[in-house]
């Protein structure tokens, strides 16, 4: 079966800003979805903040292999119950790709457990996205670096946990550097954060940026059945242990009783 990708975008700048509407007439989600044009191994759908349940119903998430997330001005509008729903699906094995200003999204901060803060500047600088992990699947087919003519600067320190892998590091015209492509795993779900994508610039029309997104979607896909019991914490009675044993000390819980959470 093909990889089922879902591109989520808050779709707020497109409504309120003429520049963003001109750059992305089909929405940022529409531009990102074009990364998969001609890729028969991926089917892609889109969802936006203003849809019922933000377009992230339980049924739809259950049918999603990889979720791609773009957000900026409306992080606070995302319902906490939906964030918990997405987090559980990541734990179960759904891949998650967080793009650009999604570093401050509720779902990314929750999964990272850190502030995810950084330096920034909006000055239309050259960004060179250097490939520092040349053999990584997310970097497949790329040159030594991607040059983006106009971008927003993000600078270190980036207060994320130590990544599982760092695939890209960016240099900006003003001199700052940034870990712009990093991977994590939470439960059974793979996570990739990719920095480029400021809404005031045509970054998501850059074919190499779209190639990274396409590569990352293939990398984040977990073909195994969802790990539905990932959050369970069963009380295993002594007589059901792999090796039979006898109870030797006092107990707070009866057999089968739920633990405290």
| Residue at 186 is within a domain | yes
| pLDDT for 151 beyond 90 | yes
| Residue at 232 is within a domain | no
Cβ-based neighbour number of residue 79 at 10 Å: 13
Asked if residues 220 and 192 have their Cβ atoms less than 8 Å apart, the reply is yes
pLDDT at 114: 98
**In CATH, what number is assigned to the domain containing residue 141?**
3.40.50.880
Interatomic CA distance for residues 89 and 101, integer angstroms: 22
Domain that holds residue 169: 3-220
233: left (phi over 0), alpha (psi -120 to 50) or beta: beta
| Residue at 13 is within a domain | yes
Dihedral of CA 202/95/103/107: which sign?
positive
| Residue at 254 is within a domain | no
pLDDT digits (tens, 9 = 90+) for 222-251: 999 999 999 999 999 989 899 989 999 898
Asked if residues 10 and 49 have their Cβ atoms less than 8 Å apart, the reply is yes
How many domains are contained in the chain?
A: 1
| Residue at 241 is within a domain | no
pLDDT at 261: 85
| Residue at 261 is within a domain | no
Question: What's the predicted TM-score (pTM) here?
Answer: 0.95
């Amino acid at each position: 079966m093909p990889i089922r990708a879902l591109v989520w975008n808050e779709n707020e700048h497109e409504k309120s800003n003429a520049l963003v509407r001109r750059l992305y007439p089909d929405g940022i989600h529409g531009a990102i979805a074009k990364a998969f044009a001609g890729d028969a191994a991926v089917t892609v759908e889109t969802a936006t903040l203003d849809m019922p349940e933000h377009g992230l119903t339980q049924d739809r998430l259950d049918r999603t292999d990889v979720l791609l997330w773009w957000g900026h001005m409306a992080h606070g509008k995302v319902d906490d119950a939906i964030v918990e729903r997405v987090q559980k699906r990541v734990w179960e094995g759904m891949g998650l790709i967080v793009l650009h200003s999604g570093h401050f999204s509720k779902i990314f901060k929750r999964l990272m457990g850190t502030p995810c803060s950084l330096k920034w500047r909006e000055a239309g600088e050259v960004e060179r996205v250097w490939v520092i992990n040349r053999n990584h699947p997310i970097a497949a087919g790329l040159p030594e670096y991607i040059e983006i003519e106009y971008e927003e600067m993000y600078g270190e320190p980036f207060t994320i946990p130590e990544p599982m892998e760092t695939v890209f590091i960016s240099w900006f015209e003003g001199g700052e550097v940034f870990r712009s492509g990093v991977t994590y795993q939470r439960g059974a779900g793979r996570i990739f954060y990719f920095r480029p994508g400021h809404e005031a610039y045509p970054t998501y029309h850059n074919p190499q940026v779209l190639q990274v997104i396409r590569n990352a979607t293939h990398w984040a896909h977990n073909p195994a059945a969802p790990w539905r019991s990932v959050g369970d914490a069963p009380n295993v009675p002594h007589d059901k242990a792999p090796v039979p044993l006898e109870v030797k000390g006092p107990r707070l819980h009866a057999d089968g009783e739920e633990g405290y959470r």
